[in-house]
Structure 1
């Protein structure tokens, strides 16, 4: 089958490094039987030497084991050598469904998460990002998903209809309904070729991705305050209608195996609770309202999964996130959610020992955690091309100015690019780091470095504060967005000097 469509798909956590091919696999637990052996899943293919030459020398294929569709500290990484014109990976699944996804894959239309089953093989013949073929021994499953991805274009409210008489919100509603019909048509087409359990998972995933984009666009209209009052009122009504119609499934297999449903429900809760949040303290109030809504509106396995995704994604948006997580940690009993949240809480808890890192400076010298004992560390993590990282660099400048002559404070800048050349380019550009900072690198391991796993850092920028005794002050301070958050960060530093 030939698919030619340029499209970017949403990841719950943003793409971190753009030149590395990464295979993410999520092993779910529908009907795990102790000792059960499942057939391997084989993903392989070939590409032209030109495509290979465009990638860095340390280009690799990595396999991540996870269950939520999000990277977490339970991941296992497998590196696979990639030749000049071919690649292959064999996955040993431990459940009846597997999600895999490519980041940095040279074919845009295969960016995203794809469902696979034990025994599947998938072959790619890639001539360019727009000219490729794939084939499989489970052809219907992959052609169905390729068609669903092609049809499920992002629903957003921007340029095409600013001058439309229909209005932005009405266009969004029309667009969503139109795409929904296309999805239903595709699912019906494959009804006789795929088993019901697979179709049900594909349906809830595609519906969730569509509705999440729809809700996000409506929220933008409400929050931006740049649209007419009529449009804003229509957006509020649409969010309320969607919220009232929300009826979570009771099928535990669907809850477990859907990769997109929990993120959609979180976005819906954030949108609805955002309508009622205090505008003077919006992020904090919305976080608290959303947390309480999830805690009270859902139950069982679904509640545990949503809470896990919520805290992994939004921990650093609230001053009370640690206390909130501690309040429900005992109620999360299912694997892997309990393991993930326990690890997250440990990595964020004040007073716990910081990770004993060993990182290299540009001149080749290695620095360890013990080298900074007796000093408060303000440690920033960034990668080249990250606009948020450049913004954080500016936001931290008042803090650096305040403590630049204090011998008990050290500022450290950690680059997480795989490629040392990108690190050098970032330093030369001067927008990611300051001369007042010690510049270190994750030694070519990128975001696979165990230090980043320890703190559950999956998107950037990130900020870490460590006290004089090498204990964590905070690994997720609230992002600096205003004077209040800047003063809060300053207070954290001053109280530990």
Structure 2
């Protein structure tokens, strides 16, 4: 009898443990259901999931939708205290229509998003949220609509006057930037005030944790937007030929306008919320890294002015973005590894000893093209190689393909350079269809795939976490850079072709 009791007790204990594990997994589960009106069916939805709200980090992934009539749903397990999710659909007119962008989710959320046609809104749709955790989604949606109104006002290129390749001090270009920066900062401040009032209306329904985190997001959004509004005209003016005294005058005017902005007091928000705020992290990294403010030791500023997990995350995020652009980065990363304690931050810093460092040998890949032929790195010996990594559904990858077409066309008769596009889709047929669509690659590219056994080794080797990623390799098979100029405007496109020309001409 005693033996039976012991066996029953052991079985009961095992059942309780299993039930606990199931409950724990269920408590971490997040389900996002999407329901749309029958008159506006949606064939494809994309859900982006970020555990830490930083690009190029582990935790970034796309979750496939499971579909039924007039609806889609996504299931994921949220391993962290929060995650950031984005929801979009492909569009022929604008490439992608974004429904939600980096909304904060929590373990246990079970939210239904109702998508309705609404021609009065910018993207043509309105959203309603219901279910467990839906209040924070509705609040973030209301906040995003206010911010969207601000963004729509400022997307036009200025005219400017040039004489003998020099920008004239009193040109429209000069006046535009100063006037526009003032206008943008005022508009962002208005958005900030409106969003604080929206947040207060939700305060009692959000709970203390989410209220403070969203407050950190609102504060961070204001400062992140304002620093971006400053950096754009500053770099545009700096990149053009300009008489030094004129540049100094414009620079001082821009900085004075920025310094007189309204500044939120981040000291009101405890570090535990700032640590989780993607907007705050983004602001501090831009504010620290950019040379506008002439900090000689950007890393030292982060090391000395922050503590604990917040410092760990800021330093990891800083090097994630700027490792290949900053001097003494290797020395600073080695120093950071002596005090950074957060596991995933240490892992990120350790990854910068990888082979994307300039001068290291490139990964000796062997990957198939669309016909099944194996293409090797050695096949390109004696040529400069520009490789871009992409996946189907990546809007940035489509944009890069558009930007690269004129550059690849420029070199099409030059046999000392080759362009290779490496796709990371698991589904080979999806990859081939994407090539045929002409949206992700160009006619001058050699199209390869990692969607085979061991094909992902190149991704792991280079620790690629975000797409598109571009790598340039020299004629001897060594890395030139893992962070080349992005060809998103005439100035940076020229910087890229200058880099390629120098690499081609070197022995």
In 1, the alpha carbon distance for the partners of 2:156 and 2:77 equals: 45
Unaligned residue ranges in structure 1 (runs of 5+): 1-32, 277-285
Contact preservation (8 Å) 1:41, 1:92: yes
Secondary structure of the residue aligned to 1:70 is coil
Q: For each residue in 1:421-473, what CA deviation from the matched residue of structure 2 results, as whole angstroms up to 9, or x when unmatched?
A: 4423439x9x9453xx533245599xx966445432523351242786x7x63
Contact preservation (8 Å) 1:42, 1:121: yes
User: Which residue matches 1:378?
Assistant: 385
Shift of 1:358: 4.8
Quick one: which of 140, 145, 150 aligns to 2:145?
150
Q: Does 1:66 align with 2:51?
A: yes
Instruction: Decide whether aligned partners of structure 1 residues 248 and 462 sit closer, same or farther in structure 2, where only a CA change above 3 A counts.
Output: farther
Instruction: Decide whether aligned partners of structure 1 residues 375 and 230 sit closer, same or farther in structure 2, where only a CA change above 3 A counts.
Output: closer
Taking structure 1 as the reference length, what is the TM-score of the superposition? 0.69
Quick one: which of 112, 116, 119 aligns to 1:123?
112
Q: For each residue in 1:261-314, what CA deviation from the matched residue of structure 2 results, as whole angstroms up to 9, or x when unmatched?
A: 11011222345x3254xxxxxxxxx8x754454344434332321222222223
User: Which residue matches 2:206?
Assistant: 194
User: Which residue matches 1:20?
Assistant: none
User: Which residue matches 1:260?
Assistant: 279
Quick one: which of 303, 313, 327 aligns to 1:305?
313
Contact preservation (8 Å) 1:222, 1:236: no
In 2, the alpha carbon distance for the partners of 1:442 and 1:411 equals: 16
Quick one: which of 362, 367, 373 aligns to 1:365?
373
User: Which residue matches 1:476?
Assistant: 482
Q: Does 1:41 align with 2:30?
A: yes
Instruction: Decide whether aligned partners of structure 1 residues 460 and 246 sit closer, same or farther in structure 2, where only a CA change above 3 A counts.
Output: farther
User: Which residue matches 2:292?
Assistant: 274
Secondary structure of the residue aligned to 2:354 is helix
Contact preservation (8 Å) 1:360, 1:367: yes
Contact preservation (8 Å) 1:169, 1:234: no
Contact preservation (8 Å) 2:110, 2:133: yes
In 2, the alpha carbon distance for the partners of 1:62 and 1:143 equals: 18
Q: For each residue in 1:70-92, what CA deviation from the matched residue of structure 2 results, as whole angstroms up to 9, or x when unmatched?
A: 34245566544334532222233
Instruction: Decide whether aligned partners of structure 1 residues 493 and 74 sit closer, same or farther in structure 2, where only a CA change above 3 A counts.
Output: farther
Taking structure 2 as the reference length, what is the TM-score of the superposition? 0.68
Shift of 1:367: 2.8
User: Which residue matches 2:489?
Assistant: none
User: Which residue matches 2:6?
Assistant: none
Greater relative contact order (CA < 8 Å, ≥ 6 in sequence):
1
User: Which residue matches 1:19?
Assistant: none
Secondary structure of the residue aligned to 1:257 is coil
Instruction: Decide whether aligned partners of structure 1 residues 250 and 152 sit closer, same or farther in structure 2, where only a CA change above 3 A counts.
Output: closer
Q: Does 1:221 align with 2:233?
A: yes
In 2, the alpha carbon distance for the partners of 1:341 and 1:134 equals: 39
Count how many residue pairs are aligned between Structure 1 and Structure 2: 434
User: Which residue matches 1:91?
Assistant: 76
Secondary structure of the residue aligned to 1:91 is strand
In 2, the alpha carbon distance for the partners of 1:388 and 1:242 equals: 34
Contact preservation (8 Å) 1:382, 1:432: no
Contact preservation (8 Å) 1:322, 1:349: no
Q: For each residue in 1:407-426, what CA deviation from the matched residue of structure 2 results, as whole angstroms up to 9, or x when unmatched?
A: xx865343568553442343
Q: For each residue in 1:195-229, what CA deviation from the matched residue of structure 2 results, as whole angstroms up to 9, or x when unmatched?
A: 12211100111221222112211233333339999
Q: CA RMSD in A?
A: 4.7
Shift of 1:237: 1.4
Q: For each residue in 1:369-400, what CA deviation from the matched residue of structure 2 results, as whole angstroms up to 9, or x when unmatched?
A: 5x649666624216697454454565578888
Contact preservation (8 Å) 2:359, 2:479: yes
In 2, the alpha carbon distance for the partners of 1:485 and 1:467 equals: 17
In 2, the alpha carbon distance for the partners of 1:176 and 1:302 equals: 26
Q: Mean alpha-carbon deviation: is it higher for 357-366 or for 375-384?
A: 375-384
Secondary structure of the residue aligned to 1:462 is strand
In 1, the alpha carbon distance for the partners of 2:385 and 2:157 equals: 44
In 1, the alpha carbon distance for the partners of 2:301 and 2:145 equals: 34
Contact preservation (8 Å) 2:219, 2:264: no
Instruction: Decide whether aligned partners of structure 1 residues 199 and 101 sit closer, same or farther in structure 2, where only a CA change above 3 A counts.
Output: same
Shift of 1:478: 3.8
Secondary structure of the residue aligned to 2:479 is strand
